[in-house]
Structure 1
Amino acid sequence: MYALDGVVWRAPDTQENREHFGCQRNHANHQSPFPLVRMACLLDARARLLIDASLDAYDTSEYTLAQRLWPQMPPDSLVIVDKGFYSAGLLWPLQHRQGRHWLIPARAGLKGEVVQTYGSGDVRLRMKVSPQARKKDPELPLTWEVRAITRELDGKPKTLFTSLADAARYQADEIFALYHERWEIELAYGEMKTDMLGQAMTLRSQQPEGVKQELWATFLMYNLIRLEITRIADEAKVQPCRISFITALRYIVDEWMWSSGSSTPGAIPAKLKAMRQNIRRFVLPPRRPDRRYPREVRMTKTHYPIKKNAAQA
C-alpha cells in the first residue's frame, strides 16, 4: 500500500537557486519571493516510510516526477494518488506495462461508457484517451477501462477510479475504505516540515547542490526516526501510526546527541533499549472511525505585487 503526492520546498533567495530551480510567476513581471523546488514522494502508507523521492526545477511536471518513481513499486502493489494525477498517459502504463495498481478520485465531469455492472455503485467504464496523451505516447490505446466505485461520503456521492477490476477478489466497500490512507503522505510532509524543520520558512543552503543535499539529509533523518518507530510498534504490537512522532523525534535526537559524545560505546545498546521502552509509553489511542472535518476554503491570495524579476526591474 503506497501513496504518492507532490510537494514544494522553498529555497533561500539566491541568484544560483533562482536560475537552477526557478520560481512561481504570477504574471510576466513578477515572481514568487523564493526559489521553489518541485518534488514527488512515494510513501509506504502503512509504516509511513519514504520509499523514494524525485526532485527537480519548479516548472517540472509532477507527472514526470511520478513516472520516475513507478519502478520503485513492487509488482501487484497499489498506489493511491490525488485526482490531479488522473491521466491515461500516467496510469495506463503503470497498470499494463509494469503490473502495478492505482486508486484515484474521479474528476468532476468525467464520463465513460458503462461496460459492465458489478453491483450498486460499482461499474466498469470505458474511457477515451486524449489525443494529447497519445501524441506523447503513440502506444497508448484509443480507449482504456477503469472500475468506478461510488459511495456516499459526508452526505454527498464520491466516485473513485481504480485498476482493481476483479470484483470477486477486491470488494467495492473495501477499496473505497482504502482511499483515506492517501492522507498518510500529507501527515508525513507535516512531520517533516513542521516537527523536524520547526516550520522554517525556507531551507538553509545557498547553492543548488546544497539544497539537494539538505533535502536528502532531511529524508534520511525522517526515515531513521520512522524505522525506529516501526521497530517500537512491532514490539508494542500496534500500528506504526499509533506511536507519537513528536515524542519519538525528541527522544531519539536526545539519545543521538548523548551517544555522539559518549566515551563508553558499550552503553549504547542499554540506552537504546531504555529509549524504546520510554517511547512505548506514548502510544496514541486508535483513530476514531467517525472522525470528519469539513473542508475549508483557503484565503484569497494578495493581489499586490510580490517581487520583480531582477533582470526586468
Structure 2
Amino acid sequence: KQAGNHGGTGYPQVRLLALVACGTRTLIDAVFGPTTAGETAYAPRLLPSLRTGMILLADRNFGAQKLVADIAATGAEVLVRLKNGRRMPVLARYRDGSYLSTLGPVRVRVVDCEITLTTTAGKHTGLYRLATTLLDHHRHPAGELAALYHQRWQIETAYLELKSTILGGRVLRARTPDGIDQEIYALLVVYQLLRTAMADATSTRYGIDPDRASFSIAWQTARDLVIQAAGVIADTVADLAGTIGRHVLADLLPARRLRISPRIVKRAISKYQARGPRIDRTSYKATTSIEILAPASP
C-alpha cells in the first residue's frame, strides 16, 4: 500500500507500463509490478519490443541519458520531452529553429517551442522542450515534431480504458500475487482483442480514422455477446468487421476536435482542498498555435 496523509491507501497498488501504437491504440507490449519500482526501472523491459522504423514518444520522466541511449541502440527513434530548465549544449543551429545537441552519448536535435491554446475563456501558453534522434531537419521539421508529440496522449486514453472502462470502477479481485498477474493479463488480452476488432472494422471503410471507433460501444457489445452466449460458433464466411465492428461502425464518433478542460482537483480527499460548487467543469473548444523558439546565443 502507498503511504498518505490519512493513513495510506485503501488497497495495494500496481504499476503498469505499456507500449501502445498511436494509430490503433493496440498494445505492443506491457510490463507491471510493485509500485516500489519507478517507471524508468520498468521501461528497459519494454525495449526488446522496439524495432527499426518505430518512433517512440515518451514524456519527461523518460528523458534519462542511459534510457535514451538504450532506446537508440534498438534501432528505433525517440521523441521525448525534457524539462525546460535542463541545459543542452548547442552544437549547430538549423533553419527550422531546432539545434543539434547531445544527450549523454547520443546526438539529438532539440526543439524548443511555445504552444498556445486559445479558448473563449482566454489563452494558455506553455513551453515545451523536445529531444529527438531524428536529426534530419529537412525530412522532420521542428513544427511537425511538435505536432507529432501531441499523439503521446493516446496512451493516457488507453490507460483510462484499462482502469476505468473495462473495470467499471472496480478494483482487482485476486488476493495473491499470482492471481493479480493472471487478472492483469486477462485485462490486457480483453483490451487487445477489442482494439483489434475496432481496427479491423474501421479498415473496412476507406478514410475512417481508428480514433472514431468508440471503445465503450465495442466493450458493451462484447459483454452482451458473452452474456447471451451469442456468436460462440464462428460462421464459415469470413467477416472482418464482425458483430462488434458493425456496432462500432453504426455509431462512429465525430472527427476528433481539439477540446480542453481545466486541470483541477475535482474530488478532493481533504475538505481543505475542495473548491465547492465553483469548479469549472466546462470543456472548451480550442485552437492551438506552435511557435518554434530559436536557441539563445551562448
**Structure 1 length-normalised TM:** 0.75
Partner Cα separation in structure 1 for residue 242 and residue 47 of structure 2: 37
Partner of 2:99: 123
Partner of 2:203: 234
Partner Cα separation in structure 2 for residue 261 and residue 277 of structure 1: 14
The alignment partner of 2:84 has SS state of: coil
Residues 259, 265 of structure 1: 8 Å contact kept = no
Is 1:221 aligned with 2:190? yes
The alignment partner of 2:251 has SS state of: coil
Alignment of 1:98-247 (within 5 A): 98-127=74-103, 129=104, 141=105, 144-154=106-116, 155-200=125-170, 202-237=171-206, 238-247=208-217
Offset at residue 111 of structure 1 (A)? 1.0
The alignment partner of 1:111 has SS state of: coil
**Match among 68, 75, 81 for residue 58 of structure 2:** 81
Offset at residue 150 of structure 1 (A)? 2.1
Residues 14, 32 of structure 2: 8 Å contact kept = yes
Letter of the aligned partner of 2:256 in structure 1? R
Is 1:38 aligned with 2:7? no
Letter of the aligned partner of 2:179 in structure 1? G
Offset at residue 273 of structure 1 (A)? 4.1
> For the aligned residues, what is the CA RMSD?
2.8
Is 1:287 aligned with 2:256? yes
Partner of 1:296: 264
Single out whichever of 293-302 and 241-250 deviates more from structure 2: 293-302
Offset at residue 303 of structure 1 (A)? 11
Size of the alignment, in residue pairs? 263
Partner of 2:275: none
Partner Cα separation in structure 2 for residue 114 and residue 266 of structure 1: 62
The alignment partner of 2:190 has SS state of: helix
Offset at residue 119 of structure 1 (A)? 2.2
Gapped regions of structure 1 (runs ≥ 5): 1-22, 130-140, 305-313
Residues 200, 241 of structure 2: 8 Å contact kept = no
Alignment of 1:256-267 (within 5 A): 256-259=226-229, 266=235
The alignment partner of 1:53 has SS state of: strand
Residues 96, 137 of structure 2: 8 Å contact kept = no
The verdict on how the C-alpha distance between 1:267 and 1:285 changes in structure 2, with shifts beyond 3 A counting, is same
Partner of 1:4: none
Offset at residue 167 of structure 1 (A)? 1.1
Between the aligned residues of both structures, percent identity stands at 29
